[in-house]
Structure 1
Amino acid sequence: MNQMLHEDAEKIVSAGIHAVLPDVAVIRALESYDFGTGGVYLVAAGKAAWQMAHAAVSCLDGRIRRGVVITKYGHSGGPLAGIACFEGGHPIPDEGSCRGTRAALALVRDLGAQDTVVFLLSGGGSALLEEPLVPLSELQDITGQLLACGADIVEINTIRKRLSAVKGGRFAQACAPARVLCIVLSDILGDPLDMIASGPACADSSTCRDAERVVKKYGLRLSGEARACLQHETPKHLDNVEARITGSVRELCAAAADAASSLGYEPILLTDQLSCQAREAGVFLADIVRTHRSPSRPLAYLAGGETVVKVIGDGRGGRNQELALAAAAGIAGLDAAVFSVGSDGTDGPTDAAGGYADGDTLAALRAAGLDPFAVLNNNDSYTALKAVGGLLFTGPTGTNVNDVAVALIR
C-alpha cells in the first residue's frame, strides 16, 4: 500500500464529511422560523435523524413538547429529552421501522392548525419511515427486488411511495391541519424534494403510469394487492408544508476539493451527478488516471453522486467498495489511488464507509490468492479489500448526502 496516498485519502474523507454534518444547518433553519404560539413537535427519520434531532433539541431549548426519532440500527447516539428513539432496518424496512412510524403517526394525529411539526428528514428515510399498505414481508421482497435489479433511487421511490401510508406526501397529510417545517439533508442528485426519502412531506411529481413503467422495465413480481396500490394516485398538492434543504452532495464535493487542495493537489470536479454502475465508475476513474499519469503537479479528480450495484453474486460489499476494487487493475503500478466513500459512514450491509485502491493493490490481491475480477463477479469487494487494507472506516457519521469518489495522481 502507498502509505502517503492512503493518508491523503483519509484526510480528504474526514474533511469532506465534517463539512456536511447537519448540526449547523439544522440550527440555522430553525433560528429563522416563527413557530407562533402553538405547540412544537418533532419527527426525525433517516440515517442522520438522531444527529439532526439532537441539534434541534439543543436549539429550541425546551420548546419541543414531544418527539419521535427513527434511525438505522447503531445510529442512535443516546437519549434525548422528551424524544422517543426507535431504530429500524435499512435499506429494507423491518418491524422496527414500522413501530417507530406508528409512534410518529400517533404523535401528529390530533394536532391543531396552530401547532408545528418539525420534520427532520435524511437519506434512508424511505426504509426507516414506513407504514406499509401491503404485508411487510411483501414490501421487503419488492424492495429487495428493486435493489438487486439495479434500479436507480428515483425508480425505487416511485414504487415505494404507492405501497406506503406515509410516503409521497401522505405523512404531511396525516399532520394536517398542523404546519410542517421540513428540514432536509438531500441524498438524491439534483435535490428533488419529492424523491428524498420518498417525499413524505412533499407533493408527488411521479404518477401511477411512471410506477407501471418501472414494474415492466424490471419485471417486478407483485401481488394483486400491491398492483392495486399502484393504481391509487399520491397527493399532488400540499398547503401545510415549508421545506428547506440544508445539505447536499455539492457541499461534500466542495469540501473534499478544498481538503485535496490543502494537501497540494489541484482539484478537478468531474461531476456532482454521478449515476451509473459502481464498477463502471471505478474503471472510468482508472482511465482518467492513466490519461494523466505524469502530471506537472499532483491532481485530484472528484466525482460526487451515487452509483448502483447489480447483484449477481453472494459476496459482501457496497457500491463504494466495488468502485474502488474495479479501479485496481487500471491503476496498477502507478503512483495513484482511487477511493470512494458514503457520507453516512456505511457502505451497503457492511461496517466500512467505502473502499481504497492504489497502484499496489492489484499485486497485493494476487499475492493473497485473490482474483479481483472473480471477486467483482461475486460482489465480494469487502472480503478482498479487507485482505489488503483497502477498507475505509468512519463509523456512523450522522449525515447522509450521497457519496464522493476521488482519483489522486501524484
Structure 2
Amino acid sequence: MSTLRQDADRIIQAAIAAALPDQAVKKALGGRSFDQGRVRLVAAGKAAWQMAGTAAELLGERIEAGVVVTKYGHSKGPIANFGIWEAGHPVPDENSFRGAQAAIDLVKDLTEEDTVLFLVSGGGSALFEKPLVPPEELADVTRQLLACGADIVEINTLRKRLSAVKGGKFAQLCAPARVFSIVLSDILGDPLDMIASGPAYPDSSTAADAKAIVAKYGLQLSAGALALLEVETPKRLNNVETRITGSVRQLCSAAEKACRELGYEPLVLTDSLACEAREAGAFLAAIARYKADVDHSLAFIAGGETVVHLTGKGKGGRNQELALAAAEGIADLAGAAVFSVGSDGTDGPTDAAGGYVDFTTKAALKAQGVDIFEVLKNNDAYHALQKVGGLVMTGPTGTNVNDVAVLLLRR
C-alpha cells in the first residue's frame, strides 16, 4: 500500500503535468499561418522558455528572431535564433531590464505587415521590466508591497504606473505591427490586464485605484513615483489579439482526477482561494476534524493564491506556510495529510515548490524542540518542514497557473 506522502507526490506530479503550457500553445496557434510580413517572438514569465520552445517547434524558421525572459533556473537551454535572459523574481534585477530592452529593440523597426508573437505567463511583472523610477526604488516598492500582504492585483496596479512596458505600453511600442498574444493565466479570474501586469492589454485600473493602494498600506514612495501614479495608462489598443490558455481550474481538475484514481472521493472546494496562507491551512485542518469519522477516503482540493503577511525574518513561501499551519489541526488525526504547491515549482524565495504535513508532523517537530506557532510568527516554515522531510521539491516545472492545496483523509 502506498503511503500518504506517495499519494501526495503522485497527485502533485499529475496536476503539474496537466498544466504544462505545451498543448495550450499548440491550440492557440492552430490554424494560424502568419503568411504576411515578419514574425518575431517575445516571451516573458516563469513559463516563457516552455512556451517559446513550443512555438519554435510549430513555426520553425517562420519566426525570424526571439527574446525570452524567464526566472533564474527556468531556462532549459538555447532555442535557435532566440536570445534568452534569466532574471530576478519576485524583485526585478538588472537582467530583467536588459531582457525587456532587448525585446523593445527587437520590435522597434517593424511595420504594419509584421507580427509580434507575445507569450505571457505569471512572473512577467518582475521578469519583464523597464522602470520609470530608479531600479533601487522599484525594488523597494516591490518589497513593501510583498511585506504588507497586498494581493497580486494591487501589486500590479502600481507596477504598471512605474514601468515603460506594463499596462499596455509594450503593445504601443510594437505598433504599427500586430501583436498576437498568448497568455497563460496565474491570476484568479484571468484578468488579462493584470497577468504579468498586462504589457499588451488595455489597463482597467485607474490612477485613483493606484493612489488608494498607497494609502491603504501606508506605502513610502518618492515624489517622482507619486507623480507617475497620476498618469493614466492605455485604455484602448487596436493592434492586439489575445488568446488566454491554461488556468488554476485546469490544475484543480487534474488533481481531482488523480485523487479519484488513487481511491479518494474528491471534492474541489474552490479554484479562487484568496486569503492568508495560515487561514487556509487552518480551514483545511478544520474540515479534517469535521470529517474525521468518515469510513472512506476523501480528498478536498482548493486552488488559488494565498498571501503571507510578513511578521518575521525567516525563510518560506505561502504554500509552505499553508501546510505548516494545518499541522496543528490535523495532529493525531490518523490518515490525515495536507499539502500545498506552486505550479511553477518555486514557492516564495526558496527552492521548494511547497510543503507537506500529516498527522505525525506536529509531534515530530516537537521532538526536535520546534514550536509551530513560533515558526509561523517568524515566517520560517522552510526550515521547520526541512527538519521533518516536509518540503515538496519539484524544480522549475515550465508552467505557472497558481497553487493547489489538498487535504487527504485516507481510510
The SS at the match of 1:408 is strand
Contact persistence 1:109–1:174 (CA under 8 A): yes
Quick check: 1:189 aligned with 2:188?
Answer: yes
Residue in 2 that maps onto 1:13: 12
Residue in 1 that maps onto 2:374: 374
Cα deviation for residue 62 of structure 1 reads 1.2
The SS at the match of 2:350 is coil
Cα deviation for residue 103 of structure 1 reads 0.2
Cα deviation for residue 296 of structure 1 reads 2.6
| Residue identity matched to 1:375 | V
| Residue identity matched to 1:342 | G
Cα deviation for residue 199 of structure 1 reads 0.5
Partners of 2:42 and 2:305 lie apart in 1 by 26
Residue in 2 that maps onto 1:358: 358
Q: How many residues align?
A: 409
1:282-317 per-residue CA deviation (whole Å, 9 max, x = no partner) reads 000000110001223110000000000011101000
Residue in 2 that maps onto 1:230: 229
Partners of 1:249 and 1:259 lie apart in 2 by 15
Cα deviation for residue 61 of structure 1 reads 1.7
Q: TM-score normalized by structure 1? A: 0.99
Q: Percent identity of the aligned residues? A: 67
Partners of 2:218 and 2:209 lie apart in 1 by 14
Q: 1:9-408 counterparts in 2 under 5 A? A: 9-334=8-333, 335-408=335-408
The SS at the match of 2:292 is coil
Partners of 1:216 and 1:37 lie apart in 2 by 49
Report the RMSD for the aligned CA atoms in angstroms.
Answer: 0.9
The SS at the match of 2:345 is coil
Partners of 2:227 and 2:277 lie apart in 1 by 34
Partners of 2:255 and 2:31 lie apart in 1 by 29
Partners of 2:242 and 2:256 lie apart in 1 by 28
Contact persistence 1:168–1:234 (CA under 8 A): yes
Provide structure 2 residue ranges, at least 5 long, that are not aligned to the other structure.
none
1:58-110 per-residue CA deviation (whole Å, 9 max, x = no partner) reads 01021100110000011111010000000110000010100000000000011
Cα deviation for residue 36 of structure 1 reads 2.8
1:250-302 per-residue CA deviation (whole Å, 9 max, x = no partner) reads 00000000000000001101100000000000000000110001223110000
Contact persistence 1:188–1:195 (CA under 8 A): yes
Contact persistence 1:36–1:114 (CA under 8 A): no
The SS at the match of 1:304 is strand
Partners of 2:18 and 2:32 lie apart in 1 by 23
The SS at the match of 1:330 is helix
Cα deviation for residue 3 of structure 1 reads 6.8
Partners of 2:15 and 2:375 lie apart in 1 by 29
Partners of 1:203 and 1:34 lie apart in 2 by 26
Cα deviation for residue 30 of structure 1 reads 1.2
Contact persistence 1:160–1:198 (CA under 8 A): yes
The SS at the match of 2:3 is helix
1:24-65 per-residue CA deviation (whole Å, 9 max, x = no partner) reads 111121122241321110000000000110000001021100
The SS at the match of 1:62 is helix
1:341-383 per-residue CA deviation (whole Å, 9 max, x = no partner) reads 0000000011110000100000000011100110000000000
Q: TM-score normalized by structure 2? A: 0.99
